[in-house]
Amino acid sequence: MNTKILSRIISTCLASVLVLSLLSGCGSSDSSSGKVKILYSVADNDDAFRTSLAEGLAASASRHGVTLDMKLCGPSVQAQLDDITSAASNGYKAIICRPTDVSTTLQLECATSLPIVFVNNSPGKDLLKADKYVFAGSNEEDAGTLQVEYVLKKLGKPSSMNIIIMMGEKGHAAATGRSAAVKNSLRDAGVDYNIVFSDYSPSWSAEESINFMKTFYKTGQSVDAVFCNNDSLALGVVEAMKSHNIDPASVPICGVDATSDGCASIAAGEMSFTALQDAAGQGEAAVSAAILMGQGKSISSLDGATKDNCHVFVPFAPVDSSNVKQYQ
C-alpha cells in the first residue's frame, strides 16, 4: 500500500480513537481541570512526530479528565478557520492548534474569542499574547545548536566544513529556527562553512531527501556533515549514501525528533545524532496550558513557562550512540 495513503488511514483512525476515548474525559482524579472541553485542530498526522504529539495530547487529556476532540482539516486553511470559528458555539473552552499555514495565525486568532495554544509550528512572537495566544513546544533553535555541538566534538572542531542542510517545510518555524541555529552556531564557533546543498522538503520525508541527495551527488562535491531538521530526512540521507556505496558512518548525519526509526539507525551505526523532541512532554504542556487558559487562569505556574507567559518550552535532549538505548 502507498505509504501516504496508509499514513492518512492511520491519521483518520487516530482521530476517531481520540474522539471516542476522550469524550467522557474519564480516568483522572484531577478535579482542578473542571469541565474544560478542548478542540485540537490539525491538518493531518502524516509524519511520525505529529502522530506522537497527538498521542501525547490524548494521554495528557485523559490524565487530567478533560475532553479533547481532534479535527483534521487537511490542507485547507478555510476548513481550519471554520473549525476554529465554530469552536465556542460547540462548547469548547480552549483550542490547541497546529496551524495549517502559520501565516494565517492572525486570522485564526480573530476567528474566535477562545484562548489558543499553538503546537508544532510556532507563530512569530508578535502574534503571541500572554495567557491568551501561547506556544507550547520546544525552542527550535536549541535543536540546531545541539546538532552543531555534537558534530564539532566528533570532528575535532575543524576550521572549515562543507555541509548539507535538509530544511523541511518552507515557512515552518522548525525549518527556519533549526537551520538558522546551525549556521549561527557554526559561525560562533569560528568555523568557515560552505553549504554545498540545501533545500526545503514539503512533507519532511525520506523520499524527498533521497532525491535531494541524488541531485547533490551529481555535483561531485564533498560533504563533511549533514544537518537534517527531522529524522525522516536524515534516514533518507542514510539510504541515499548506502545506494551510492558510501558508509553513512563516514559522515555525521544529524536528525531531530528521536523517532523509533531514527534511534534504531543510530543504534545500527548509521545516523550519528538526533535531538529528542519530547512529544509526550509537549502534549502535557499544551493540554495543561489549555486547561488553565480555558478557566481564565495564567500559565505562569507551568514548568517551562517563560516570563512573558507566551511560551511553555519543553527542552530538547541530545541522543547519540552513548545513550540511544534509553530512548528505544
**pLDDT 10s digits, 19-76:** 444 433 433 334 455 679 999 999 998 888 899 999 999 999 999 999 999 999 999 9
Q: What pLDDT is attached to residue 1?
A: 42
Write the CB contacts of 78 (distance below 8 Å, at least 6 apart in sequence): none
> What per-residue confidence (pLDDT) applies to 292?
98
Ordered structural domains, the chain, with CATH: 3-138+278-315 (3.40.50.2300), 140-276 (3.40.50.2300)
How many angstroms separate the CA atoms of 143 and 236, rounded?
Answer: 19
- The predicted pLDDT at position 30 comes to 44
C-alpha span between 91 and 85 (Å, rounded)? 12
pLDDT band at 162, cuts 50/70/90? very high
- pLDDT for residue 263 is more than 50: yes
Residue 163 has pLDDT above 70, yes or no: yes
Judge whether 182 and 148 are in contact, CB under 8 Å.
yes
d(CA 286, CA 206): 28
* Separation of alpha carbons 82 and 78, rounded Å: 6
- Could you report the per-residue pLDDT of 125-148, keeping only the tens digit for each? 999 999 999 999 999 999 999 999
Under a CB-based contact definition with an 8 Å cutoff, are residues 43 and 71 in contact? no
Q: Given a cut of 50, is residue 15 above it in pLDDT?
A: no
- The pLDDT confidence band at residue 4, using thresholds 50, 70 and 90, is very low
What pLDDT score does 95 carry? 98
Q: CA-CA distance, 117 to 97, in Å (whole number)?
A: 6
**What's the pTM value of the predicted model, to 2 decimals?**
0.84
The rounded distance, in Å, linking the Cα atoms of 102 and 69 is 21
C-alpha cell of residue 326 = 534509553
What is the per-residue pLDDT across 250-261, written as a single tens digit (0 to 9) for each? 999 999 999 999
Q: What's the confidence (pLDDT) of residue 3?
A: 42
Which residue type, as a one-letter code, is found at position 42? V
